[in-house]
Amino acid sequence: MYSSCVARICEVVAICLVILVSAPGCGPTDAAESDLGFGVWVPGAGDGNPGDKAALGESAGSDDGEGGGTLLRVSPAEIDLGSVRQTVSIFVSNGGDGEMVFEVAADVEWVRLDGAQGTSSGDWKKVVVTGDRSGLAPGDYEGQLTVFAAGQVESVALWMTVGGDPGEEEEEEEEEEDPVLHVDKDELDFEWCTKRLSFVLHNAGTGRLNYVIDATVPWAVLSQNAGESTGEADTIHVDVTRENLGPGDYTGSITIETDFDQSHTLTLRMIVLTSAASWGFAQEDSTAALQAAISSGVPRLMIPNMGQPWIVRPIILVSNQEIYIEPGTLVLAKEGEFHGVGHCLFSGVNVQNIVLSGYGAILRMRREDYDGPDYEHSEWRHCLKLEGCRNVQVLGLTLEQAGGDGICVGPAPDGHIPCRDILIRDVTCDENYRQGISVTSAEGVQIQNCVLSNSSGHNPQAGLDLEPNTAQDILRNIAISDCRIEGNTGSGILVNLQYLDGLSQDVSVRFEDCLITDSGEPSIRVKLNGWDPAPGGLLEFVNCTCRHTGLYVHWSEAAVMQLRFADCTWSDVAEGLDPLWLDLPLVAGLTSEGQVELRDCVVYDDLARQFARIRSFGEGGSVLNLVGNVDVFNPHGSCGWTPPDGLIALDVTFHY
């Protein structure tokens, strides 16, 4: 009986809809007051004129028959209230241009709509659908929601179940869907150059979760604006555009809403920088434009990727500036220039508060040219020179083919002001003439996660060189960690303290978790000699791994500082070299000062040779200044190794 009534009602509704659209004077008010009582209506009555756009469901102000560029979007395409659920939501949005007026109608009387009329200029508008089971016989019900906007119509299928006795309803409730929105991020920070970031959302509960996504700012574009999840993860890409935006910090948000009244908001952040190209770009020589951009003093400057190199002569850095070099950009030393023995690609002298960041960017000189007959010989044509600088960050850059060091960190020209608070992170220094990085006088230097490779041309040809030039220079609070140092003609790491004396400030240097491999000389070379008294402090290597070349230490008999190797490993040292070579003074007795320590170190060797060459010198005593313990793995055994005279505090364990 009930189903036949429903069929009859649908026939009547269809007839009424035809009459409403075609008959003059028939508007939604007339339908709403009809004896049917269904609330079936056509939105936007206007004045009852069939030519009125509102009467046809078109958006007011639309000038054409296609909605004036609007695009009706509705999500989801179907909803199911099940047997106990009371409310669910649908979402309506304008996927086109301008403002779109919309209205939503239901063809059944057992639902109520909240927010059924509204406007959208691109944002999603929620329409809450509430089911009313009172007075309905048990059974499955179905209906339809119709969304009208700007001459466009979308339908949403609707289902609801009315249960029987209360016990059956409880059982149904246990089986009801319980979707839970989960989003893996709360913030997307595009910084200054990132163009795309993503987040992942999924239904962490049961059943089906329908969602819509809104961005509140026009500079963020979503890969999709709606979807559903029954547990699978959906990756949403967010692309940003900086075109036509002025320099500054931008913020916005993305809101995710679901048909179960759950929501999540992600914060968006983006930086727009001043472009150095605003001062010009010349294919042959961009020095004037780039130097003018830097000298302008803008707080944040971008060197954009122009598709061809920025060819420049020496560039001078200024204080209080962040310079960001776009990925793929090459800043190239101009051919035939840099004749001065100290001409560097970038120089900072007595400046402070600088960021030089260039992930995926390259600073390149022309080291082979500087070796030619047209140039005075020099070891000081660096890619980046910092003298007497404070609070400088060098991030992500590749610095290569310098006529000196990739980076040189030292005192101001007068020799009295060291560099302070220098961070060098994620940097690659490759194929430079003297060193990858040199530090001659500095305090508070951190070198993290860098690659220092293939230095060759002028001694010492090391990956990293810590080498004060005078007793007034300092090496304090220097920390080098997680670096890969490889293929250098000299040592991987050189620490030469020969010019420091008892009046010098204490040394504090720590190497940690570094890999040194394929060096032309010992992987690590440490030198302290000459002056009496020698400097104090601590130089330590922790958990460092050396491959193919060994260790060389020359220690002063006047030493009052400590040299410590803890948990370090040497392996596969080449034939003709010694895994460990130590030249140590004889002292009167071991004290806490001046010790050389090998603590929990390991040597792996498969050649028939002694693991260490320990030589003594001096007339100050009869005890070698060496303590600790070493494990030696060699299939040939100890190879006749016997402790040298005076070695009383080093434990060696051989593993065959």
For residue 594, the model assigns a pLDDT of 66
For residue 617, the model assigns a pLDDT of 83
Residue with the bigger pLDDT between 12 and 646: it is: 646
Do residues 185 and 139 share a domain?
A: no
Q: Where are the beta strands (DSSP E) in 46-151?
A: 72-75, 78-80, 87-94, 100-106, 111-114, 117-120, 125-131, 139-149
Per-residue pLDDT at 626 exceeds 60: yes
**Residue 521, token pair as written in the block:** 């000389």
Beta-carbon contacts of residue 385 (< 8 Å; ≥ 6 apart):
342, 344, 346, 347, 348, 349, 407, 408, 410
Phi-psi region of 431 (alpha: psi -120 to 50; beta: other; left: phi over 0): left
Do residues 202 and 120 share a domain?
A: no
Give the other-Cβ count within 10 Å of 171's Cβ. Answer: 11
Mean pLDDT on 168-190:
76
Mean pLDDT on 514-537:
88
Are 403 and 430 in contact by the 8 Å Cβ rule? The answer is no
Phi-psi region of 98 (alpha: psi -120 to 50; beta: other; left: phi over 0): left
Do residues 495 and 603 share a domain?
A: yes
Q: Where are the beta strands (DSSP E) in 204-319?
A: 209-215, 220-222, 226-229, 233-240, 248-258, 263-272, 274-275, 300-303, 310-312, 315-316
**Averaged confidence pLDDT in the chain:** 86
Q: Residue 81 belongs to a domain with what CATH number?
A: 2.60.40.10
Give the other-Cβ count within 10 Å of 169's Cβ. Answer: 16
For residue 181, the model assigns a pLDDT of 95
Per-residue pLDDT at 287 exceeds 90: yes
For residue 25, the model assigns a pLDDT of 37
For residue 139, the model assigns a pLDDT of 93
Structural domain ending residue among the three candidates 118, 145, 176: 176
Are 500 and 534 in contact by the 8 Å Cβ rule? The answer is yes
Buried b (16+ CB within 10 A) or exposed e, 299-338: ebbbbbbbeebbbbbbbebbeebbbbbbeebbbbbbeebb
283 in any annotated domain: no
**Burial (0-12, 13-18, 19+ Cβ within 10 Å), 635:** exposed
Do residues 95 and 219 share a domain?
A: no
Q: How far apart are CA 63 and CA 390, in angstroms?
A: 63
Do residues 576 and 602 share a domain?
A: yes
Do residues 472 and 616 share a domain?
A: yes
**Selection from 245, 197, 238 nearest residue 221 by Cα:** 238
Phi-psi region of 320 (alpha: psi -120 to 50; beta: other; left: phi over 0): left
The pLDDT tens digits of the residues spanning 368-389 come to 999 999 999 999 999 999 999 9
Structural domain ending residue among the three candidates 56, 81, 97: 56
For residue 593, the model assigns a pLDDT of 63
Residue with the bigger pLDDT between 296 and 59: it is: 296
The pLDDT tens digits of the residues spanning 565-598 come to 999 999 999 888 789 999 988 877 766 566 899 9
Q: Report in angstroms the alpha-carbon separations of 182 from 85, 225, 230.
A: 21, 16, 12
What share of the chain has pLDDT > 90, as a percent?
70
For residue 83, the model assigns a pLDDT of 87
Q: Are strands 233-240 and 196-203 parallel, antiparallel or unpaired?
A: antiparallel
Do residues 515 and 606 share a domain?
A: yes
321 in any annotated domain: no
192 in any annotated domain: yes
SS3 of residue 297 by DSSP: coil
Do residues 131 and 24 share a domain?
A: no
Q: Which residue has the tokens 């980076």?
A: 407
The strand pairing partners of 258, in sequence order, are 211
Per-residue pLDDT at 506 exceeds 60: yes
For residue 620, the model assigns a pLDDT of 67
Do residues 484 and 582 share a domain?
A: yes
Domain hosting 221: range is 181-271
Are 428 and 448 in contact by the 8 Å Cβ rule? The answer is no
Mean pLDDT on 272-280:
96
Phi-psi region of 449 (alpha: psi -120 to 50; beta: other; left: phi over 0): left
Q: How far apart are CA 51 and CA 44, in angstroms?
A: 12
121 in any annotated domain: yes
Do residues 187 and 105 share a domain?
A: no
For residue 69, the model assigns a pLDDT of 87
Q: Are strands 407-410 and 384-387 parallel, antiparallel or unpaired?
A: parallel
Residue with the bigger pLDDT between 207 and 602: it is: 602
Structural domain ending residue among the three candidates 137, 159, 176: 176
Mean pLDDT on 300-326:
97
Any idea which of 34-48, 214-228, 297-311, 555-569 has the lowest mean pLDDT?
Answer: 34-48
335 in any annotated domain: no
Mean pLDDT on 523-531:
85
Any idea which of 24-28, 98-102, 241-245, 576-580 has the lowest mean pLDDT?
Answer: 24-28
**Residue 148, token pair as written in the block:** 């009208």
Q: How far apart are CA 219 and CA 248, in angstroms?
A: 14
Task: Choose the most confident range, by mean pLDDT, from 74-88, 199-213, 445-459.
Answer: 445-459
Q: How many domains does the chain have?
A: 4
**Selection from 325, 306, 309, 317 nearest residue 345 by Cα:** 317
**Selection from 279, 261, 203 nearest residue 234 by Cα:** 203
Give the other-Cβ count within 10 Å of 448's Cβ. Answer: 17
For residue 399, the model assigns a pLDDT of 98
Q: How far apart are CA 80 and CA 130, in angstroms?
A: 11
Are 626 and 602 in contact by the 8 Å Cβ rule? The answer is no
Do residues 545 and 656 share a domain?
A: yes
For residue 201, the model assigns a pLDDT of 96
- Going by the DSSP 8-state scheme, the letter that residue 5 receives in this structure is H
Return the percent helix, strand and coil in the chain, to nearest 5: 10, 45, 50
159 in any annotated domain: yes
For residue 175, the model assigns a pLDDT of 53
Q: How far apart are CA 344 and CA 367, in angstroms?
A: 12
304 in any annotated domain: no
Per-residue pLDDT at 59 exceeds 50: no
**Residue 608, token pair as written in the block:** 């028939």
Do residues 171 and 185 share a domain?
A: no
**Residue 165, token pair as written in the block:** 């006795």
308 in any annotated domain: no
